[in-house]
Amino acid sequence: MRRRKFLGIGLAMLLALGLILTGCGGNSTEQSSGSAPAEEKEKPIEITFAHFDPADSALDIHIAQKFANELSAATNGKVKLVIYPSGTLVPIDKILDGVLSGACDIGFFPTAWAVGRLPYTFMFEQPGIGFNSGKAASLAFDEAMRTFAADEYKDVHPLCFFCSGPGIIITKEKINSLNDIRGMQIRSNATNAEAIKAWGGTPVTMNTSEVYEALRQGIIDGFLGVADPVASLKFYEVTNYVTKNDMFNSGYVICMNKDKYNSLPADIQKAIDDVSQKLWKESFINYYDTRHAEAMKVITSKATEYEIPADVYQQMVDKASVLVDKYAAELDSKGLKGTEEAKLLRELVNKYNNQ
């Protein structure tokens, strides 16, 4: 009886030990047959992108956000473009300085805000040029900046060059002669102010956000510039007539801090360059033409579209185009090749307007 009792105890102990070993063996098998703890997902490389327009504006969506999405896709999520709109990282008139100093990795800015810094680039801001589309202006600008003016971008890594192309003049009264312009107070940027003076008008500089009220109160008589803000800010509600203006142009640059670019792996550098050129060719050079067409539909729903008489318009062109040669002479006086660039500019106008 005692022997049977000991035997029972022994069997029970063996059974318990077996269960313990089986349990341990089971846990061990589960760990070895399962995957090892997953490594933390590699964090993407963050690249800052500063630009001058408000968040979720058309430009923010169609330029900055599109760039971010395309770059993320091209690198399988290895790169995250962090967008800083409207001066949230660097002041909007200091974006080029921000790129040069490394305060931002990529900057997108109008060349009009880099007066004195990019003398050859600024030639494309001069009145009287006469590109017939934003695409033509962009192709010419890109060619000139990557050849004639390449030295102006030696301290950054240039990504995209493109232009606004033609704009509009929207006024309370029609312009049928130069006499009609005489005495008109017309809002423009500083570059175009000289042309308005040459026509006999009075240029007025003010923030775009102030233009509607100034028009409504009769402080100014018209606006000269691209069509987009006229539509979005509804200047057409307080004016009557709108007409084309292909004598003016605005350049835009997207460039990258050179040290940041050089610090990146070769495959990421290639992705940045490839995405830049893809978007430039497929989207950016057409951006302002698309926006112009959309804006004009809105504007002409209220304002009357008309054409300035051809002979009068030619007089305006002649008076404005003199300013190209004046600027060229200024560059010549500083030991730069202003006359040579003015000649190139006119050749590029003919080349790309006729494509």
What CATH number should be reported for the domain whose range is 167-248+298-353? Answer: 3.40.190.170
81, 68 in Cβ contact below 8 A?
A: yes
- pLDDT confidence bin for 5, thresholds 50/70/90: very low
- For residue 104, give every residue at least 6 positions away whose Cβ sits within 8 Å of its Cβ, in sequence order, or none: 48, 49, 50, 84, 89, 90, 95, 98, 257
Q: Are domains 45-116+130-163+250-291 and 167-248+298-353 of this chain identical in fold?
A: yes
The superfamily in CATH containing domain 45-116+130-163+250-291 is Bacterial extracellular solute-binding protein, family 7 (3.40.190.170)
- pLDDT confidence bin for 41, thresholds 50/70/90: confident
- For residue 23, give every residue at least 6 positions away whose Cβ sits within 8 Å of its Cβ, in sequence order, or none: none
| The token pair that represents 155 in the structure block | 């301290």
CB atoms near residue 295 (< 10 Å) = 21
Confidence (pTM):
0.85
Phi/psi region, residue 175 (left: phi>0; alpha: psi -120 to 50; beta: rest), is beta
Mean pLDDT of 340-354: 97
CA 234 from chain center: how many Å? 23
Cα–Cα nearest to 60, from 273, 295, 287, 296? 287
User: Domain segments of the chain: what residues?
Assistant: 45-116+130-163+250-291, 167-248+298-353
pLDDT above 90: residue 64: yes
Residue pLDDT, tens place only, 90-130: 999 999 999 999 999 999 999 988 888 999 999 999 998 89
Say how far apart CA 256 and CA 49 lie, in whole Å: 9
b/e sequence 158-173, b meaning 16+ C-beta within 10 Å: bbbbbbbbbbbbbbee
What pLDDT, on a 0 to 100 scale, did the predictor assign at position 261? 99
306, 233 in Cβ contact below 8 A?
A: no
- Phi and psi angles of residue 111, each rounded to the nearest 5 degrees, phi first: -70, -20
